[in-house]
Chains A and B, each alone.
Chain A
Amino acid sequence: MGSAILSAGGGGLFIRNGSLAEYYGQSDIPAGCFVDVNPAGTTRRSVAAPSVCKLTDETYLHMEGATLYVRDKAGNEISSLATGLTFTDSDVGSNIVFSHVFTFGGNRVFASLLGYDSADDRAYVSYAILTHSNGTLTLNKTGSTYASISSSAPVFLGGCSIGSSTYVLLSIGSSASAQVNWLVNISTGAATTAPFTIKGAPFCIDEANRIIGTSNGIYEVTDSSITTLLTTSNTYYDSGASGFVVSPERFLTLSRTSSLSNFLFNDFYKENGTWKYVQTTVTPSSGTYDKYASPWISYWSDNEIYIRCGTLRKARISAHTLEIIEVANSTLSGWNGVGTTVVFAPYLFVGAAGGGAVSANDSGDSTITYLMEPTVSLRAGSGAGGRVTKTACKPLKKGKVYE
């Protein structure tokens, strides 16, 4: 097995020559290492789940906590910017649960943090609007908003630009199938509650930012109307979901369901001018943790995809139906939320919640630890809360490394 072949940011999953290695950490990761998710002495909630998005044909963005990194195709850092995002409500404290970043309007970036204050049961969002040029980020505006959510577990569903890029749509979910949609004015930085509800994790399908896809449906948005083009049979939208736009006429989603016993894969496609979808139910292989994990989905090539629904899986799409080819043999604790991916073959970068007990105040119960060997046969990697048993890789900048 080869040694240190990868160097990239936290919250990553990397595919190289058909091999998979997921970890949370930085620096070189010798294949075969197991990495503890949590920095020592902290709770998972003090470390916002990272987010990634493609920036240019050569670079991607990686947001971890309140810091943004521009990285190249191999994950090397080009530049970074501390946004200074924080929460005006001090009670939010370390309850930062997600970061989320996406690009829009050609050279704009929207980066946000989600926090939760159990004292007043509110979800707080702090966000920054930036521009990027030649690998450098410039901070333009910051803002914040909040909503009462009646939940102990707010999750980022995501966001995207809509319409003429005057506004950015930002969504969070909470329990009882509730969802909050905000519109953030790009010019002023002010957030207002959207006059509509888009259910599920939103992302743009078309270049004009009019067609918004989610795991729950397809919407066409103008400044004065929203048309629900399609509603799926999945109506659970307060939890994790991830999407991947294959083309303006096709996108894929993976989301949790209310039963938490399975995930739903949707292949949305346009045929003869009409949007259709085929849904496949994906059942976690085993273990309670499977149900918690933040799902993500990434299109690799020729209908071959990688997904995470509890465990990591390699899958193929045939006639719009998902067929699992391989399942990682691992136990993965995770958190529901949006999982974002960027593909720069042979690398696949993932920003997704991982690790952490679902109970808000639990600490040290976390794991993202599995990997595949170059043969693509899976090697078990599991552990929780620093109780990973194998050791011996180099120390990382974060967390503990075990062989």
Chain B
Amino acid sequence: MILIQTQDNVIIRIADSVEYDHRNYPYIDVNGFRECYAVPSHVVREVAEVPEEVTTEKYCYTPEDGFYIRPGYVEPNGYGIPDDLVERIKNDAITEVEEAVTNGTDE
């Protein structure tokens, strides 16, 4: 497998293979459209296998350290809103449930 990485080892593309154009830039053919990556701002590395959990942007790779999560990487919460707001919404919901339970008990 081929990894295309930034100079600080972040994986930005995973491919089965690459070819090289007249500038000696690696490229991937995607349905007839070329995705090229300039060098030396990008690095191409070949690895025997890419673990299933490895995804672009999130993981880095070096021959010495193997695959590792990018330092400082923060997993998006999936709601598209800030974490602290998610927490606030959760807490509000919990409070509402607790109040409902309390009111129900009182009755």
Contacts and interface: CB of A to CB of B under 8 A. Distances in A.
Contacts of B27: 225, 227
B57 A195 contact: no
Number of chain A interface residues as a range: 20 to 34
Interface string A143-165: 00000001111100000000000
A230 interface: yes
B74 interface: yes
A130 B77 CA distance: 39
Contacts of A151: 79-80
A226 B80 contact: no
B76 A176 contact: yes
A259 interface: yes
Interface stretch (B4-12, B44-52, B61-69, B98-106): B4-12
A347 to B, nearest CB: 32
B36 interface: yes
B15 interface: no
Contacts of A359: 81, 85, 89
Contact of B10 (A196, A230, A235): A235
A15 B43 CA distance: 44
Contacts of A174: 80
Contacts of A153: 79-81
A4 interface: no
A46 interface: no
A292 B41 contact: no
A291 interface: yes
B57 A177 contact: yes
Given A233-B6, A258-B74, A225 B36 contact: yes
Interface in B3-52: 6, 8, 10, 12, 25, 27, 30-38, 41-42
Contacts of B81: 152-153, 358-359
Number of chain B interface residues as a range: 20 to 34
A185 interface: no
A283 interface: no
A94 B35 CA distance: 38
B27 to A, nearest CB: 7
Interface in A188-231: 195-196, 224-231
A285 interface: no
Nearest to A237: B57
B95 to A, nearest CB: 16
Interface string A356-372: 00110000000000000
A224 B33 contact: yes
B84 to A, nearest CB: 6
Tell which of A196, A224, A260, A288 has the most Cβ of chain B within 10 Å: A260
A56 to B, nearest CB: 35
B41 A231 contact: yes
Contacts of B25: 227
A288 to B, nearest CB: 6
B76 A175 contact: yes
Tell which of B30, B41, B57, B80 has the most Cβ of chain A within 10 Å: B80
A195 B80 contact: no
A233 B33 contact: no
A257 B73 CA distance: 10
A27 B35 CA distance: 49
A267 interface: no
Interface in A218-257: 224-231, 233, 235, 238, 257
B68 to A, nearest CB: 16
Given A195-B30, A225-B36, A358-B81, 12 more contacts: A175-B76, A175-B80, A176-B80, A195-B31, A226-B33, A227-B37, A228-B12, A228-B36, A231-B10, A231-B42, A260-B83, A288-B84
Going nearest first, the 8 A-B pairs with the smallest beta carbon separation are A175-B80, A153-B80, A225-B34, A227-B36, A195-B33, A151-B80, A235-B57, A258-B74
20 contacts: A154-B80, A176-B78, A177-B76, A195-B33, A196-B35, A225-B33, A225-B36, A226-B33, A226-B34, A226-B35, A230-B41, A231-B10, A231-B42, A233-B8, A235-B12, A238-B80, A257-B74, A260-B82, A292-B82, A359-B89
